[in-house]
Chains A and B, each alone.
Chain A
Amino acid sequence: MKPRKAIILLLLIFLVSIAFRLYFSFQTEYYSDSDSFFHIRYIGHIKEDYKPMNYDPLSFGGRQMLVTQLPFFDYILAGLSFIPHAYKIIPTVFISLTVIVSYLIALKLTEDNTAALLSALMTAFLPSILTPTLNKISVFSLILPLALYMVYCLIRIEEESFLNQFVILCFILPIIHPLALLVSASFMIYVILVASEPDLKINSLRKEAIIFSIFLALLIEFIIYKKAFLALGFSIVWQNIPSQMLSEQLEQANLLELIYSVGIIPFIIGIVGVIFGITKDKTHPMLITISVAIAPLALLALKMFTLSNTLIVLGPILAIISAITMKKFFTYIRITKFSRYELLSKYLVLALITLTIIIPAWSTAGQVIQGTITKDEITVLEQIGRETSKDMVIASSAEEGHYVTYFAKRKNVIDKTFLYIPNIDSRYNDIKTLYTTIADSEALEITHKYGINYIYLSHRTKKIFGIRGLKYDPDGKCFRKVANVGEVEVYKVRC
């Protein structure tokens, strides 16, 4: 394939990716997770004050915010907020850039435009990237393409322009997200992989760049999370996520679901590509890419990385490595009797990708959009916001915490910004008990403990806790239903 044609096709995939995402995003005026609404509040604060939010009066009933939320991504969005629908369009463009970076890495691995383009196409529709980033304001939209581009720069580090870009990214990445430490860990794994190969040697410049990136990432993260490191020690890698939430996540995950998240085709041919890479094509670009796949898996095995974060990184990497298998397949076809069907074989792979990734992506995207906050939820939350005084505390699940702070503009008891919250396990379990207990005395103990005035109960809450409603004293002396629209209810605590 001619390079010019490849570039046109790549741009087409990039634009299709943007169009696909925006098509679904604009089916609703809201966002598909509660964290996005926290970002909107944060960006609003930046636009008003120009400073990062030091104190959030609503999250966890009021908390210090310093360094729990690295503001770089929010500053970018605040700066670009003059663009209409900026919070929908900008993250979409950012995450779609992953397609281009995937192509670049795959091309470097295979030097085959067709394989690289197919791998870029897979990346565009991977469920593991779609679910956490579609119609959501997520820092992963920015960090993922940047991290992959950093890997690409390391592969081409001998060229001065890439060296300079690598240096710049070494500074930028750690201030956006701690995922920079994962990239450093990957580079360390690459060094170990090369050391275990007697025929390979890391060139000096790449070694220097790796040393530099590791030290810089460590220093920046230590500066940013100084207090958290001192308070939580090494367990900061868990970001203070409640232990029950972590174990629930791991319990719920099964191999089939994992394969589905990464994508069946990228998973299978990606693994085959890894095997080729480790056994036959032991090149530096190959080992660098494989090490990026190994790092999150190793950290997940050590319970130092969440499953969802692992999948976000693993998905595109396997899609990139898939290019190796596809190239081998096309080359193999070329030297067999079926060589005249080479073009057909490429269409066959394209059809397979369409059937197993692109079409299921449509349904995945539909599910994500279906999970968006509903009109009923918003109506109830806004009503509670109007009818209550500002210091009221509303209990909700952690997943809905920022719906409470954004729509009702009232204090929540828990949300998903866990870092620095003391006794988070106890708080998380208490909220679970509040929704699942049958004893009103136990529920009252919890409402008194956190000063809860209202209990928010939506279809989402019911699904999260596996309940059909509150089992204790509904509409009794101590808990009175004060709002009910559709499936969404709010109870007032009266005792």
Chain B
Amino acid sequence: MSFTARVVDGLVTGALPGPPGSGVAPTYLSPTGAEIVFLLLGVVAVVSALLVVATSQLVHAALWLVVTLGSVAGMYLVLTVEFVAWVQVLIYVGAVVALLLFGMMLTRAPIGRSPDLDNAHRWPALVAALATAGALVALVVDAFRSAYVDLDVAGRTPGSAAATGATIFRSWVLPFEVLSVLLLAALVGAIVVSRSTSDGA
């Protein structure tokens, strides 16, 4: 059997080689504290994401997006990936949402209810989204039913700033530098695009 076939087979049956020392997975009926916190944060994230796409007030959508992104950061913390969690808070909650609010302000978004935020084909969109959700949830539940990760291992800090920094600046230096060039290009592009009409072109 080829490697790809084995990996696909492992993905389908959930029999990927587990990490060392993971042991047998506990039952789903006795959730740990971390799992309960994670599920609560997940409920908050999903409900506020639903409100982002369902609310009829533009500014409220941005504020619900803050709740979603914040609870995703909380989920990162529960998964012991603390550096990524704080980056998420700084960049997403801090910068991206502020940019979105600026965009709304500059495009004279209506304050208050606007009934025409959804377009004509929202029911086909709902069907497509439900189909996506059904397919993805069925797939991941089937694939990862027996996968279990023990988060509470002494001496293991996979998400600390030290560990993340070491891997980024050892193994991922080239993508990191390429990304900085890409950020510069995006910055210059945004400036050029937004001032092209003012100088008469």
Partners in one complex: no
User: Which of A's residues lie within 8 Å of B, judged by CB?
Assistant: none
